[in-house]
Amino acid sequence: MDAVRPMLATKTDRVPTGEGWIHEVKWDGMRVLAEVSETGARLWSRNENDVTVSFPELAGMTGPGVLLDGEVVAFDEGRPSFGALATRMHQRNARRAAALADSRPVTFLVFDVLRVGSRDLTGEPLSRRRELLEGLGLGDDRCQVPPVYDDGPMLMTATREQRLEGVVSKRLASRYHPGVRSPDWRKLPHRDRTSWVVGGWRPETGSADRLGALLVGEPTPAGLVYRGRVGSGIAGSAGPLLATLLGPLALDSSPFVDEVPRVDSVGTRWVRPEVVVDVESLGFSHHDRLRQPSYQGVRSDLSVADLLADAEGDQGQADRGQEEHR
């Protein structure tokens, strides 16, 4: 089949309540659509890339011809770890991917079914899709269907106490709209994790070649706007991986459309703005710079165009929300 872009959730500042909603744990993973048949599975990332080779333990899933939507999650001591998943997401070497599947296995947490056999379910309400999903009999070490909850505020409290990422709330009557960011699905994370585009990197102090920090920005219709320097979290294998990805993208001048402060720009190696990374922070300073940012991993499942579309979708939803309150 052709790849399908998944339906996306909009940001919210409170968990919706009422009988028309169900609530799920927001997992710290990678969104994946899986076409499962009797001979195995094919996997697509959110930006329609075939990532089957990256997750051989999931490619071995078999079933009665279904298209599933969910999150690929790596667990570390029982808790989801995006850092552990980052080593798996970008792997395209089949032999290396197989070795990582043994040492750092992932689990596919399924929350929706879009097709069973030749029956397209995208036009049916979530309540019916969920009923069919739970009847598929999925559930083993590699593929699970997590529960849903009626009480969103309770789940928000529980996920905070368990240091999970947050909550996704979904309207039971919602149809599935591929590639659309819908107000019928709403997400509320506990932590401020955002995705940014790398525009340059700085060597470690005392080294000419070892990567020590990233300069990241926000893609806008006018170009890449500088948002800050990220040095925390780049240790161990992260630095060499980033250097490998950024090396071929070298530029002679800054790709940012605004001026980068001299304290950040001196000694920086500029790159074409193509690599997307996740960063945790304490929000923004009054200069619109990230506060205490910490690198979390490369997002090979996201492109610059995806970030632009997300920003436009969130802004459009915010504008509609303001109109509703007038």
Look up 26 and say whether it is catalytic. yes
CA–CA separation, 257 and 127 (whole Å): 46
CA–CA separation, 247 and 209 (whole Å): 10
Q: Which of 159, 136, 186 minimizes the C-alpha distance to 20? A: 186
Residue with tokens 């996201």: 302
What angle is formed at CA 292 by the lines to CA 289 and CA 297, rounded to 5 degrees? 95
Cβ burial 149-158 (10 Å sphere, 16+ → b, else e): beebeebbee
CA–CA separation, 220 and 199 (whole Å): 14
CA–CA separation, 80 and 61 (whole Å): 21
DSSP class of residue 291 equals S
Query: Phi and psi dihedrals of 85, rounded to 5?
Result: -70, -30
Residue with tokens 């006018």: 222
What angle is formed at CA 168 by the lines to CA 4 and CA 154, rounded to 5 degrees? 160
Catalytic, out of 11, 26, 170, 187: 26
Beta bridge partners of 315: none
| Catalytic residue annotation | 26
